[in-house]
Amino acid sequence: MTLRSRLETKDIVVAPGVYDGLTASLAEAAGFEALYLSGAAVAYTRLGRPDIGLTTASEMADTMTLIADRTPLPVIIDADTGFGNALNAQRTMRLYERAGASALQMEDQTYPKRCGHLADKSLIPASEMVGKIAAMADARASQDTLIIARTDAIAVEGFSAATDRAEAYLEAGADVLFIEAPQSREQLEAIATRFATRVPLLANMVEGGATPITSAADLENLGFSIVIFPGGIVRALARTARDYYQSLSEHGSNKPFADRMFDFDGLNNVIGTAGMLENGARYDGSDL
């Protein structure tokens, strides 16, 4: 089932954030139907830096390729601003689509962008974003590849301007709307009231961010079609990694931390080592 066809059903799509083949495979094993390749998560993990526009299109495309090799689940990929003007946005569409992405999320910030829940963002004109959306639509190879148009206007121009921008992006050809960082439940409700009957809506849940944390079931009842949890896995792993390294430094051994980690066999079970070796043996010529 494609992500486009999945969005035709009533049930909300819960897409956890991933940043590599391991996290993608763990999310698949947990039963999720779609994944979200977060630009922030790639910046946090590959660069050890904040989400302020430091990652490149090629780094994201490389990561997408590795994830697509590991899991068949549809992946929504963070395309930031398209990495430039309309022509750059077209190239980003081609790169990400070939890498295996099912949907590209592009936003109307200036470049370099910053996390949608950080202050002091700035926006390009709505007309420029409209052109970039149209350019991406012209460049995609498959109509099953979705364009998710994100506006960060609430924090910059106000709520009314954000919904006006969303209207323009919908008319330009966006398949999904993402109005970033609503500041209250009332704003979430207003977004759903205006758009939910016309286009799938995406909500972003960021622990400690501007939007009140709302469950997937509650968002579905409001009318949202997708909810992403882009950086949760990094926040969870970063805390665990910090505690692990502190423990190892203090004790000179992993024994005090053993009940919080896989042993060698446990990790090999998770990543399917035995099955891969068995499959590889089918091709080593021993049965010829």
CA atoms of 25 and 32, how far apart (whole Å): 10
Q: Is the dihedral of CA 117, 75, 147, 104 positive or negative?
A: positive
Domains of the chain: 3-231 (3.20.20.60), 238-281 (no CATH)
154-187 pLDDT, tens digit per residue, is 999 999 999 999 999 999 999 999 999 999 999 9
CA atoms of 19 and 63, how far apart (whole Å): 7
First to last CA, the chain: 38
% of the chain residues with pLDDT over 70: 98
CA atoms of 78 and 153, how far apart (whole Å): 18
Provide the 3-class DSSP secondary structure of residue 103: strand
| Residue 16 token pair | 């956890």
Question: Quick one: which of 201, 133, 191 has its CA closest to 160?
Answer: 191
| Residue 222 token pair | 């409001």
106-156 pLDDT, tens digit per residue, is 999 998 887 767 667 899 999 999 999 999 999 999 999 999 999 999 999
Q: How far is CA 222 from CA 12, 120, 134, 200, 208, in A?
A: 10, 29, 29, 12, 22
Instruction: Bin 208: left if φ > 0, else alpha if -120 < ψ < 50, else beta.
Output: left
More confident residue, 6 or 119: 6
Q: Is the dihedral of CA 158, 159, 163, 164 positive or negative?
A: negative
| Residue 178 token pair | 């993402």
CB 150 within 8 A of CB 123: no
43-100 pLDDT, tens digit per residue, is 999 999 998 889 999 999 999 999 999 999 999 999 999 999 999 999 999 999 999 9
Question: What integer pLDDT is reported at residue 121 of this predicted model?
Answer: 82
Identity of residue 244:
Y
pLDDT at 288 over 50: no
Query: What are the residues facing 76 on neighbouring strands?
Result: 36, 103
